[in-house]
Amino acid sequence: MKKIISSVLALVLLISALTVFSSCSKQIEIAIPNDTTNEARALLLLQNAGIIKVDGTKGLTATVKDITENPKNIKFIEVEAAQIPNKLKDVDYAVINTNYALAAGLNPAKDALSVEGSASAYGNILSVKAGNEQTPKTLALKAALESKQVADYITEQYKGSVISIVDNPGNGYDASVDYEALKGTTITVAASPTPHAEILAVAKTILADKGITLEIKEFQDYDQPNEVVESGEIDANYFQHVPYMNSFNSEKGTHIVSVSAIHVEPMGVYGGKQSDLKAIKD
């Protein structure tokens, strides 16, 4: 009987040890955006944090296939950018765009375990269809977004999670524009809800003082805002950065161009099952 009990205890201890070993050796999972430019951006952020290394020749087009060093054997889960906050609880970490982080109640300045610098390549831009860069509507909207009122709003509202990159904010108006001629007209702009539509609400007030209506159309995806500008249905959009715009134009044959860079949203690494970066850093 003693031998049986001893054998059972030994088996229990073995199972317990194996469970602990399995738990400790479980592969770390990180969710990253699955679109080309944001995936590269996420990988470069992880590289800058010393977690992986990426093929230096790939630059802003890198994918998981271009990872050259992955010492922690991390498994990367490619997910649509907008859905990553919903995936956070199921993975160890997630790399999330600031607009989606804010919408999910996450603040990059407080909640991110690692955050990128304000690289100008990822400045969020006001965009129009090629040929419309100098129209009165475009110039009026551009001036409103480049205003001190908008820059101050970004600083006060987002407290570092969104950063204005307009060098010399103005009074909200362009001296070359005949605002009297624009009075009574409507400017339409496609935008993602947070923070773009919120920022545009400030520009809307500026334009309203000149009798111009700014109609903000909110979109949840990354395709439609460019498609409606390309078709002429909408005058402009405000939701993307230049690398994404260039990739979209190349893939879709569209002709969207940047008019002005307004702000940067630092991408961040957030903890899901992990509360710090110890599991992936030496």
Q: Is residue 280 part of a domain?
A: no
245 and 135 within one domain:
yes
Q: Is residue 148 part of a domain?
A: yes
Over the chain (282 residues), the average pLDDT of each successive run of 10 is: 54 49 70 93 94 93 96 97 96 95 90 81 95 98 98 95 94 98 98 96 98 97 96 98 94 98 95 96 78
Residue 201 has a CB neighbour count (10 Å cut-off) of 14
State residue 37's pLDDT score.
87
pTM over 0.75: yes
127 and 66 within one domain:
no
State residue 7's pLDDT score.
54
Full domain range(s) for residue 81: 2-117
54 and 179 within one domain:
no
Residue with tokens 């955050």: 115
CB 234 within 8 A of CB 227: no
25 and 141 within one domain:
no
Give the CATH number, domain containing residue 100: 3.40.190.10
Give, in order, the Cα–Cα distances in Å from 219 to each of 196, 213, 262.
Answer: 10, 19, 19
* Domain C-terminal end among 70, 86, 117: 117
Q: Is residue 270 part of a domain?
A: no
Distance CA 51, CA 55 (A): 14
94 and 8 within one domain:
yes
CB 250 within 8 A of CB 133: no
* Domain C-terminal end among 75, 94, 117: 117
Q: Is residue 58 part of a domain?
A: yes
Give the CATH number, domain containing residue 187: 3.10.105.10
State residue 227's pLDDT score.
98
CB 42 within 8 A of CB 267: yes
State residue 11's pLDDT score.
55
* Domain C-terminal end among 83, 117, 151: 117
Q: Is residue 146 part of a domain?
A: yes
191 and 112 within one domain:
no
State residue 14's pLDDT score.
52
CB 239 within 8 A of CB 219: yes
256 and 140 within one domain:
yes
Q: Is residue 53 part of a domain?
A: yes
State residue 281's pLDDT score.
86
Structural domains in the chain (count):
2
158 and 51 within one domain:
no
Q: For residue 108, which amino acid is it?
A: P
